[in-house]
Every structure is written in structure tokens, then in C-alpha cells.
Amino acid sequence: MSIHAISLLLEAIFLKAKCLQGLGRFKEAAQSCKVILDIVESSFAEGFPENLGADCKLQETLNRAVELLPELWKLADAPRETIMSYRRALLPCWNLDAETTAKLQKEFAIFLLYCGGETCPPNLRSQMGSSFVPRNNIEEAILLLMILLRKVALKRIEWDPSILDHLSFAFSIAGDLSSLATQIEELLPGIINRKERYHILALCYYGAGEDLVALNLLRTLLSGSEDPKCLPALLIASKICGEYPDLAEEGATFASRALECLGDGCDQMESTANCLLGISLSAQSKVAITDFDRATRQAKALQALVSAARSTNMRDLSILYRLSLEYAEQRKLNAAHYYAKMLLKLEGGSNLKGWLLMARILSAQKRYEDAETILNAALDQTGKWEQGELLRTKAKVQLVQGQLKGAVETYTHLLAALQVQTKTFSSDKRFYKVYFMRKRVSTKKP
């Protein structure tokens, strides 16, 4: 048969697949579409030729079939076949153009990330021994998205902001935000806005536990030459500073600037800024030199936290916890007990921190029996791998009451809980680590 006749035949099969798709017979449509790829693959064993002529529709039909097949398997609710068809579509034998290949790579990565299932990793026995072989959906999606970033850097395809969005999600799931930061740092200037780059990098490093690196980036972003009124950056900077007593004053400054930027803005943002201001002022009070400075900052901290709680109608759990904790640290135990009780009621006993706070407040009030009752209730609602701090606190309460035998028994339970915790974490899989992927992808042409 001539090339023209083959082209007409494949086009007819493709139109049949489209008709079946329109009738909702997706599996049959996918099988018809697969026939096109099978015919071309068997006819051109060494790959699809590039010199068929501009007037030949064979390449166009093939491109459309390669793109359509994964979509049909999606509609047929066949995730395994969808993934296999994507992998087949990305083989070099189809002579696809750069844009079509990039589109397929992006769609495949999206499907791997959000399909909700885990499939078998690709079989790459033909690859060299040093090549990276993804072990699961997340790694395969990250690899595809990093290849797309590489193509953008080489100017083979246009920049697509959604690539970075999906890559951010993938690295977050993998627990590897430092590698995401590396990818963003390697983007060519002008691809993303410089202010956005600072902000995203700060979030990455903060999520990776490198607080001071994140803070330095935020300081740069919030400088006069960049964006000194960036509200999200001000809030994050204040949060970081509030965790370090020597940076608490700077944290209070960031929170105050955030409140100034708000004006008549969102109540939720205002409550968050007030809460962060209260946390920073509380941290400042702990390192104050004079009693007057300490009392002044403690009063301002309570004022800010109360404002934050009121602006959320006493419904924000984290703010209520901070408010109760601040009252407890200032030895205003009745108020601390009131807000801790409100917190427990809203949480429904679902948060370990709320139980512990209430027990410690009751213990500070010398209501040891009530504290032990609270701890027993918390233990009844908590799994063994989370009971360590509860048991430790209960043993201390029992020791204060002179219940030595009970304290020994509680410490025995604590040791058993620690053993369960150790076994659980030793058997858990670690987060997926893909540091080595970046190096290998960057040294290979996609």
C-alpha cells in the first residue's frame, strides 16, 4: 500500500475512535485508537520516518492518535492503561514535535500526581546502569516536570507557570522542599518575577527547616527596593522571628507593619497578625532586663492575643491555645483555665496539646486529681504511639501526690509506648528523596 492509502486508512480508524468516544463507548474507542499505534509501530520498526512530505497527513493523524489514547483510557476509568499509553506516547519512535511531547509529559505528570493510585514503576532495562529509574508515581512525576523545566531553560518550549505549581506540590508530597528551592534557583532570570522568586524560596527553605535562610530572603523581599508591604511575607517573617527570643523584637515589628498594611482588610488576616504580634511580644518579655519592661510586654502580648481571639469570635483553635498558654505563663490561671476549657470543647478532644495544656493548668492550680482525670481521658482517646507526653505528665502528677506505686506503673506504660513508637517509625517508609534526580536530569538532554 502507498503512504497515501495508509494515511487514509489510519484516518478512518481515528474517526471511528472519535465517533465511539462521542457515543460514550470509551474502552472501544481506546482499543480502536491503539490499533493506529500498533500498525505504525509494526510498519516502521526503526521509528517513524521524518521525510514523508509536507502534504502527507499520516504524521498529523499519528499525533492526534497518540494524544487521544491516554484521554480515552482516562474516560474509561482504566488508570493502568492510561499510564502505559502515556509511557508509550513518550517513546521517541513517533517523531512528535517538541510542543506535543511537552504537552504529553505535563499531562502525564498531572495524572501521576492526582490519579489517587500507585502503579508499577516503568521498566527501563534498556537504560544505562547510571540512569535514574523512578520507583513510584511521585518520583516519575517529578522527573517529568524537571525535564520540562530543563526544556524551558534550553528554550525548546515556552514557559508554563503551571509546571512550577505541580512541581511544588510533588516536592511537598515527597517532603523535599530544599530540592524545590534548588530548581527555582536554577530558573533563568525573567522566567518568574523576582519578588515571587524571593517569596517562594523563603517558603521552601522555611518548610525545609532552614528558618534563618528563609528570614534573610524575606528581609530582602521586604526591603524598600522590593516590596515592603507584601502582607504574606510580613506574616511569615513575624512567625519565624517569634520562634527565636533574640529576634522577637524584629518579629513584633513585622507584625505591626502587617497590621498597618491591612487597613480595613480581612478579619482573618488581622487576627493572624495580632496573634503573631502577641507571640513576639511574649518572647520579648522572656528576655526583658527590667521587671517594668517585662510587665509592659506581657500586657501588650495579652492585648494582642485577646484582639486576635475576638476578631475570630473565639473560634480559632491556634489563637485560643496561644491565649490560654500566655495566661498560664503569666500565672493568671483562672483565665488560662477558662480558655483551655473553651479550646477542648471546640477541639472535641482531638488535639494532644489541648489536653496537656489543661492538665498542666490544673496541676498549677494544685488540682491534681482533676489533672489526672483529664490525662486519663486523653489517654483513652489517644493511640499508644502518641501517649508518651501524656504518660510522662501523668507520672509527674502522681509523684506530686505521693502516689509512688502509681507513678512507677505509669512509667512502665511509658516505656512500653516508647517501644511501640520505635518499632512503628523503624518500619515506616522514609519520605521519597530525589536529590540525586536533579543532578542526573541536568546532565542529560531531555
- pLDDT value of position 8: 86
Q: Do 67 and 102 contact (CB within 8 A), yes or no?
A: no
Q: To the nearest whole number, what is the mean pLDDT of the chain?
A: 87
pLDDT over 80 (residue 360):
yes
CB atoms within 10 A of CB 106: 19
Other Cβ atoms closer than 10 A to 87: 15
pLDDT at position 127 over 70: no
Say how many Å lie between the first and final Cα of the chain, rounded: 35
Q: Is the pLDDT of residue 45 over 80?
A: no
Of 47-51, 204-208, 286-290, 398-402, the one with minimum mean pLDDT is: 47-51
pLDDT tens across 32-42, in order? 999 999 888 88
Residue 280 has pLDDT above 60, yes or no: yes
Domain for residue 424, yes or no? yes
Considering the chain, what percentage of its residues have pLDDT values greater than 90?
68
Q: How does pLDDT run across 366-422, given as a tens digit for each residue?
A: 999 999 999 999 999 887 778 889 999 999 999 999 999 999 999 998 998 787 767
User: What's the pLDDT band for 446 if we cut at 50, 70, 90?
Assistant: very low
Query: How many domains does the structure of the chain reveal?
Result: 1
Q: What is the pLDDT of residue 44?
A: 73
Confidence bin at 349 (pLDDT 50/70/90): confident
Question: What pLDDT is stored for residue 253 in this prediction?
Answer: 96
200 located within any domain: no
Q: For residue 352, tell me if it sits in a domain.
A: yes
CA–CA distance, 262 with 276 (Å, rounded to integer): 14
| Closest among 185, 255, 173, 252 to 213, alpha carbons compared | 185
**Is the residue at 411 inside a domain?**
yes
* pLDDT at position 168: 95
Mean per-residue pLDDT, 162-183: 94
Burial class (CB in 10 A: 0-12, 13-18, 19+), 384: middle
Q: Are the CB atoms for 417 and 388 separated by under 8 Å? A: yes
pLDDT in tens, 147-169: 999 999 998 999 999 999 999 99
Look at residue 345 and tell me if it is in a domain.
yes
pLDDT bracket for residue 123 (50, 70, 90): low
pTM of the model: 0.81
Report the C-alpha gap between 401 and 407 in whole angstroms.
10
Q: Residue 402 falls within a domain, yes or no?
A: yes
Is 389 among the domain residues?
Answer: yes
On whether residue 384 sits in a domain, the answer given is yes
The parent domain of residue 408 ranges over 333-430
From CA 298, how far away is CA 284, in angstroms rounded?
A: 9
- Enclosing H/E stretch for 10: helix 3-22
Q: Between helices 26-43 and 3-22, what is the axis angle to 10°?
A: 160
Q: What CATH number is attached to the domain comprising 342?
A: 1.25.40.10
Q: How far apart are CA 109 and CA 420, in angstroms?
A: 37
- CA gap 85, 211 in Å, rounded: 43
pLDDT at 62 over 50: yes
pLDDT of 424 = 62
Mean pLDDT of 198-213: 95
Cα angle: 253, vertex 258, 259; to 5 degrees: 100
